[in-house]
Homo-oligomer: A and B are copies of this chain.
Amino acid sequence: MEKYFDQHISRQFNQELENLRRDVMKMGGMAEEMVMDAMRALLDGNVELARSVISADDQVNQMEKDIDELAMEILARRQPTASDLRLVMAIVKTLNDLERVGDEAEKIAKIAIEMADMDRPRNNYYELESMAEHVRSMLRDALDGFARMVPEIAVTLYRADEKVDDEYEAILRQYYTYLAEEPRQTTRIINAIWIARALERIGDHAKNIGEHVFYLVEGQDVRHIPADQKEQVVLGPRKSDS
């Protein structure tokens, strides 16, 4: 990070970029909190908490717009270098992923309201709680990697996302069985499927943020590299450095 910012002559510009990064971190913190609150609302049947998540989504949407605009303004006032452009692109893409995390949290909150009055399974959706915990840890890693500009976070998140995907598939299989066995619980089980789906998407967004950080630091876009080659590409240059 230090090295990156040293390339700039203007102190004011550095300060502006630093503020931009700080805003993104703040937005990320809010999105993470929304996910946890939405899950808490579901598990506790807390309608009020769910409503607060829904109104937080408006704030997160507004933040995305404001930061996006600020980023464009900063660029337009300067002659951006290739690495400035990369930084701003990485910020704009990260913003977009965070905004979608907020959207998914809002979806969970809406379903939590619908489910507050419904029967609960004996384990009170333990499988969703556990999946949410893993996804939250991915979000934290993504934001931490973004704050410290650590490109290896892309690999950590890539591996974590594979695990979350497996967890998601297992939950779906379980729910499909319930659907066939308990036709009267269709609405409730379908709602639980939508929540699993939202959590899986949040994991994807965390993984995407890891890839934006990698692109920013290393200048290489790894988004669409086939899964079996991704680790090699991401870890490759590091290995040969040592």
Considering only residues 73-119 of chain A, those with a C-beta below 8 Å from chain B are 75-76, 79-82, 85-86, 89, 92-93, 96
| A24-B135 Cα distance, complex, nearest whole Å | 33
* Segment of A121-129, A159-167, A174-182, A231-239 engaged in the interface with chain B: A174-182
Whether B72 lies near A85 (C-beta < 8 A) is yes
Check A62 for interface membership: any CB of B closer than 8 A: yes
| A79-B79 Cα distance, complex, nearest whole Å | 6
* Segment of A48-56, A147-155, A183-191 engaged in the interface with chain B: A183-191
Chain B residues near A179 (CB, 8 Å)?
179, 183, 186, 190
| A103-B193 Cα distance, complex, nearest whole Å | 20
* Segment of A9-17, A31-39, A63-71 engaged in the interface with chain B: A63-71
Given contact pairs A72-B89, A85-B75, A96-B96, A221 touches B65 in the complex (Cβ within 8 A): yes
Chain B residues near A64 (CB, 8 Å)?
223-224
Interface mask (A177-218 → B, CB under 8 Å = 1, otherwise 0): 001110110110010010000000000000000000000000
Using a Cβ–Cβ cut-off of 8 Å, how many residues does chain A contribute to the interface with B?
A: 33
Chain B residues near A76 (CB, 8 Å)?
80-82, 85
Check A61 for interface membership: any CB of B closer than 8 A: yes
Q: Indicate which residue in B68, B190, B221 contacts A176 across the interface (CB closer than 8 Å).
A: B190
Whether B89 lies near A80 (C-beta < 8 A) is no
Chain B residues near A81 (CB, 8 Å)?
76
Whether B180 lies near A181 (C-beta < 8 A) is no
Chain B residues near A80 (CB, 8 Å)?
75-76, 80
The CB with the most chain B CB atoms within 10 A, among A58, A81, A183, is that of A183
Chain B residues near A224 (CB, 8 Å)?
58, 61-62, 64-65
| A184-B180 Cα distance, complex, nearest whole Å | 6
| A69-B222 Cα distance, complex, nearest whole Å | 12
Q: Could you tell me the distance in whole angstroms from the C-beta of A213 to the nearest C-beta in chain B?
A: 16
Chain B residues near A72 (CB, 8 Å)?
82, 85-86, 89
Q: Could you tell me the distance in whole angstroms from the C-beta of A60 to the nearest C-beta in chain B?
A: 9
Can you name 20 A-B pairs with beta carbons within 8 Å?
A61-B223, A62-B224, A64-B223, A65-B224, A68-B221, A69-B221, A72-B82, A72-B89, A76-B80, A76-B81, A76-B85, A80-B80, A89-B92, A92-B92, A96-B96, A176-B187, A179-B179, A180-B183, A180-B184, A183-B183
